[in-house]
Amino acid sequence: MAVKKTAKKSSPKKSAKKVSKKSVARKTTAKKSVKKVAKKSTARKSAVKKSAKKSAVRKATKKSSRRATSVDRLVVPAVPVGGARARVDVSSAPAPRAAAKAVPFDNKPKQSASNRVVAVVVVGIVLLAILVWSKSGKTGDDAAAPTTSPSSSTSATMTEEPTEPAATVGTVEAPSAFVAIRTADGMNLRWKAPMATEGLTGFNVELKSAGGDWAVAATTGPTELSHAVMLTSSDSWTQFRVSSVYADGQTASAKIFGLAGQYK
């Protein structure tokens, strides 16, 4: 009976072990299945991303091809000459599809540009005319200036000149007692002042060598009554003369005398 009881006790233990093993196996299979599902989902996501990238690339290539075909079909109008409108096809190759519509040319921008050029030219002409006019005005002023300056200078000169002539001296008289006193190197000429001193400005001392003309050797004041001359040579002879000089230009000469030798 004891043997049977131990057998009965061991059988439940074995069955429990089997159940635990089965549960562990089920968990591992469940984990594997979850991992497989996760891998499949990630693979699907990557495939979707790749397909999206491919579709985007296809769309971009389609757009670029469409742009290229539109550029090939573009018709650029030529610049009109003489008012005529012409169209020039500058496409590198004939369009594979239907011909593109021609783009009409509008010359409004050209007209506005020409209007601007005309306006600039007109403004330049106006400025040039103003400059020439200003220069001509300055030249006229400069030419007119000298015509007024002589009159002003003439008037100034006229005002500076005396309005009345010098009064004529009534009495004119020559010096008196005109003599020569010998010195170590020549002669000392002396004289006396005249009695008529009104208007007297001074005296002229003149010399005349043999065969020559009278020459003023010195001019003295009205109070200077002598003048020294030097003997330069004992040959020939020299004449001497002293004259009174008055304010109105009149002169009166004293008696002339001569000495042997040449003096200066």
Alpha-carbon distance of 63 to 238, in angstroms, equals: 133
What is the rounded average pLDDT of the residues 228-252?
A: 95
Alpha-carbon distance of 97 to 164, in angstroms, equals: 118
Interval 150-174: pLDDT, tens:
444 444 455 555 556 668 888 999 9
Most confident segment among 50-54, 61-65, 205-209: 205-209
Instruction: With respect to residue 37, please indicate whether it lies within any of the assigned structural domains.
Output: no
What is the rounded average pLDDT of the residues 130-156?
A: 60
Alpha-carbon distance of 178 to 193, in angstroms, equals: 10
Instruction: With respect to residue 211, please indicate whether it lies within any of the assigned structural domains.
Output: yes
Token pair recorded at residue 197: 């001193």
Q: Give the Cα-Cα-Cα angle 99, 104, 105 (nearest 5 degrees).
A: 135
Among 37-41, 146-150, 189-193, 259-263, whose mean pLDDT is lowest?
A: 146-150
Question: How many independent structural domains does the chain possess?
Answer: 1
- Per-residue model confidence (pLDDT) at position 45: 73
Instruction: With respect to residue 93, please indicate whether it lies within any of the assigned structural domains.
Output: no
Enclosing domain of residue 214: 176-263
Instruction: With respect to residue 208, please indicate whether it lies within any of the assigned structural domains.
Output: yes
Interval 188-234: pLDDT, tens:
999 999 999 999 999 999 999 998 999 999 999 999 999 999 999 99
Instruction: With respect to residue 200, please indicate whether it lies within any of the assigned structural domains.
Output: yes
Alpha-carbon distance of 162 to 138, in angstroms, equals: 39
State the distance between the two ends of the chain, measured CA to CA, in whole angstroms: 197
Instruction: With respect to residue 218, please indicate whether it lies within any of the assigned structural domains.
Output: yes
Indicate which CATH number applies to the domain containing 253: 2.60.40.10
Alpha-carbon distance of 1 to 9, in angstroms, equals: 12
Specify whether the CB–CB gap between 221 and 202 falls below 8 A: yes
Instruction: With respect to residue 12, please indicate whether it lies within any of the assigned structural domains.
Output: no
